Amino acid sequence: MPTVLVPDLPGVDTIRETTRRNMAYGSLFGFLSILATIIIVGWLWKRILIDDVLKILTTTAGVLSGVVGAVVGFYFRGDDK
């Protein structure tokens, strides 16, 4: 598969970095929002025992942390230029 190079136009790097930053912040905000929602709905609203809420949090964080880590790691990767 041939390598496609992005032309060296002014502003392309700025747009690329802005998009990466927004994706990283969005995924992190979404992750924390899901965890906060589990706490609020499960423990405060539904009155589920805290041990059960912690099990749900652990499972959810285990599943989603890999995706969030990949997105944030992609944003903070080093440039090889």
- Do the domain assignments include residue 28? no
- Least Cα distance to 60 among 70, 52, 71 occurs for 52
- Do the domain assignments include residue 35? no
pLDDT in tens, 33-42: 999 999 999 9
Q: Which residue has the higher pLDDT, 49 or 80?
A: 49
- Do the domain assignments include residue 68? yes
pLDDT in tens, 48-57: 998 999 999 9
Q: Looking at the 3D structure of the chain, how many domains does it have?
A: 1
Mean pLDDT for the stretch of residues 4-26:
77
Question: Which range marks the domain in which residue 47 is found?
Answer: 40-76
- Do the domain assignments include residue 61? yes
pLDDT at 4 over 70: no
pLDDT level of residue 19 (50, 70, 90 thresholds)? confident
Conformational region of residue 4, where left means phi above 0, alpha means psi within -120 to 50, and beta covers everything else: beta
